[in-house]
Amino acid sequence: MNNKFAANKQVSVLQNGVSIATDLLPGASSVYAGLWLPIGSASENSKNSGLSHFYEHLVFKGTKNSSAFQIAKEIEDLGGNLNAYTSRDATCFYIHIAKEHLQTAVRVLADLVMEPKLTSSDFAKERDVILKEIAAIEDNPEELSDDFFHKAHFKGCGLALPITGSLKSVKNLSIDEIRKRQKSILEELPILVSIAGAVEHNELVKICKKLFRKKSGTGNQPSIAYSANSGVEMRQKEVQQATVLWGTSCEGLEAKELRALQIFSHILGDGFSSRLFQNIREKYGLAYSINSSFGNFIQKTTSKKNLAFFQIFFATEQKNMERVADYIRKEMKSFLRNGFLKQELEKAKQGIIGSYKLSRDSLSSRQNRLARQVIRYGHPIDISKTEAQINNMEADYIESFIKKFLTSSKWTFAAVVPKGTRNLTFSSSITA
């Protein structure tokens, strides 16, 4: 990315603590606007599990200025899209709309979190909807395996809890807890408005000063407790195949270490040309889906450190589950012993940087990346610096770090399996 792109990213902070970040893309015909609350299910406990997700749902039931129908109609009549999601580390409301309707988009987003009605009757109706959503997850092996992985790997902290909450916790939530969350948003929690596209920064700052004047202040950004565990978590269901997540996490990785993990993940399981896909899917035909991924959370841990995770996902027949796991272990051991194959590192670097270049054409990707960087670091990161860091990574450093990462981490194997599957004896360690 050249200096022109870097110069187009700006961040301002209002006196009441509302942060405003923009990524100007000259020539864009639209804007992608996000309103971020840097808090999610990881900040909850077993009693209020699902609170952030419930809040995200309930604000769409109407504000003091607009009904639920009016909120949706105002954006959709302009050809825009309005939605939201809750994750383990954030709650995000977002709108994609033509550039001439920027002020409308920001007004609607501000209205949702500044002026929600939060009535008892809406709360009762939406709870029934969320309970149905939780029940539906029971029919989705991929979502279930992800929940089981977090439950086992992060046992003892909020990261272990499902984003939606459980049937029990949601039934026990009260409207008073939702209203308490609303009070904390107005008085304590940081708010970030992040917009990519045809947006003029100073104009947006003026708009936000008016629309967020009810925000009275901001405290410290919430942190998350962290604990990691190894082991096996399996659930038998009426399914035809096993759906598996095998992974680990690590606290305190520096930027260079994250890049090393990214390159390793790309080689191991990112795409059709990766080692896992070529061997397990193409050579042996043992799995339809198999991939690896890595990432890090917006929120820092209570010890003020970054928290990253690495996972391998696959779906296969129950009879092949352990065989696939053995082949995955074999590929990781091969890397520990032999490192990169000829030209493998350079191709991985080229592939990762190429994907970054493609993401520059996506306003959604630009807005998301900008928001996560501002929340995590307090400022945007010039993507050209990230690309240079990837290009400058040396094989010896990556191989040394990955060897330490794979052999010292606590690994968790989580799976949704067909009924009748025998208990799995599975070693959670990785050795060369």
Position 1 scores a pLDDT of: 28
Strands 242-251 and 289-296: unpaired
CA dist 298 and 307 (Å) reads: 8
Identical fold between 3-211 and 231-418:
yes
Taking only the tens of pLDDT, the chain with its 432 residues reads 233 345 689 999 999 999 999 999 999 999 999 999 999 999 999 999 999 999 999 999 999 999 999 999 999 999 999 999 999 999 999 999 999 999 999 999 999 999 999 999 999 999 999 999 999 999 999 999 999 999 999 999 999 999 999 999 999 999 999 999 999 999 999 999 999 999 999 999 999 999 999 999 888 889 999 999 998 899 999 999 999 999 999 999 999 999 999 999 999 999 999 999 999 999 999 999 999 999 999 999 999 999 999 999 999 999 999 899 999 999 999 999 999 999 999 999 999 999 999 999 999 999 999 999 999 999 999 888 899 999 999 999 999 999 999 999 999 999 999 998 877 666 666 765
pLDDT value at residue 231 = 87
pTM: 0.94
| CATH 3.30.830.10 at 3-211, yes or no | yes
**Inter-residue long-range contacts of 147-150, CB under 8 Å, 24+ positions, other chains counted:** 148/233, 148/234, 148/235, 148/245, 148/414, 148/415, 148/416, 149/233, 149/245, 149/247, 149/311, 149/412, 149/414, 150/88
Domain ranges of the chain: 3-211, 231-418
CA terminus-to-terminus distance, the chain: 39
Count Cα neighbours of 329 within 13 Å in the Cβ-side half-sphere: 16
Residue 428 has what pLDDT?
Answer: 62
Q: C-alpha angle 302/305/311, rounded to 5°? A: 105
Residue 138 has a pLDDT of 92
Residue 427 vs residues 81, 244, 410: alpha-carbon distances, Å: 46, 15, 11
Handedness of CA 230, 236, 239, 242 (dihedral sign): positive
Beta-bridge partners for 94: 34, 83
Show the tokens assigned to 215.
Answer: 């925000």
Torsional sign, CA 373, 374, 376, 380: positive
Single-letter amino acid code for the residue at 11: V
Who contacts 330 (Cβ-Cβ below 8 Å, separation ≥6)?
none
Which of 302, 303, 323, 301 has the alpha carbon at shortest distance from 314?
A: 323
**Residue 133, token pair as written in the block:** 């959503």
What is the structure's pLDDT at 7? 64
Strands 19-24 and 192-197: parallel
The whole-angstrom separation of Cα 158 and Cα 143 is 17
What's the CATH code, domain 231-418? Answer: 3.30.830.10
Distance between CA atoms of residues 123 and 174, nearest Å: 8
Q: Which pLDDT does position 218 carry in this prediction?
A: 87
- pLDDT for res 2: 32
Instruction: State the Cα–Cα distance between residues 185 and 356, nearest whole angstrom.
Output: 33
Upper half-sphere CA count for residue 387 (Cβ side, 13 Å): 14
